A = this chain, B = another copy of it.
Amino acid sequence: MTIEAKLEEMNLTLPPPPPQGGVYQSMLLVDGHAYFSGHVPLLPDGSMMTGRVGEEVDLEGAQAAARQVGLCILATAKDKLGSLDRIKRVVKLLGMVNCSPDFTQHPQVINGCSEFYRDLWGPDLGVGVRSAVGVGSLPGNVSVEIEGAFLVD
């Protein structure tokens, strides 16, 4: 089954590729590695999932934001690569949570993206290395930002 058929089966629709928010490329392909800029949880209507986790946003809301970032990265991948089936594996994610200083559940938040990728590509190819940390603030007060690298054909 193609990855896009699998997305459909999961009742997920790719949002439009995120618009440019600065002087960067959203994805760059170098020697079979697709590097992704830090992506934010953009919704199809153009709004962003915002708010500080642990204060304005609870764990479940933060996980939903992380999963939405995962979808936005795929939207960029589809736009830049032509097909999601060119993706061979997830190599690396850096998950940054906009949270209060006493927040401690960063891995659980970023699991929102990681579990989605695991379900999409399986527990080997869909799961790479990862760091999950709490940053002091994020652009536009979004709740989660994730950058990553995939291997592609």
Contact = CB atoms under 8 A, between A and B. Distances in A.
Nearest to A108: B22
Interface in A71-114: 91-94, 96, 99-108, 110-111, 114
Contacts of A114: 22-24
A33 B137 CA distance: 30
Contacts of A108: 22
Nearest to A23: B114
A13 interface: no
Task: Give the size category of A's interface with B.
Answer: 35 or more
Q: What copy number does this chain have within its complex? A: 3
Contacts of A151: 30
A21 B111 CA distance: 10
Interface in A32-46: 35-38
28 contacts: A22-B107, A22-B108, A22-B111, A22-B132, A23-B115, A24-B93, A24-B114, A24-B127, A30-B91, A35-B92, A35-B129, A38-B131, A38-B133, A52-B101, A96-B131, A100-B137, A103-B137, A107-B139, A129-B147, A131-B147, A132-B139, A133-B135, A134-B137, A134-B138, A135-B135, A135-B136, A136-B136, A136-B137
Interface of A: 21-28, 30, 35-38, 52, 91-94, 96, 99-108, 110-111, 114-115, 118, 127-141, 145, 147, 151
Given A22-B132, A35-B91, A104-B140, 6 more contacts: A22-B108, A24-B128, A25-B127, A35-B129, A101-B137, A134-B137
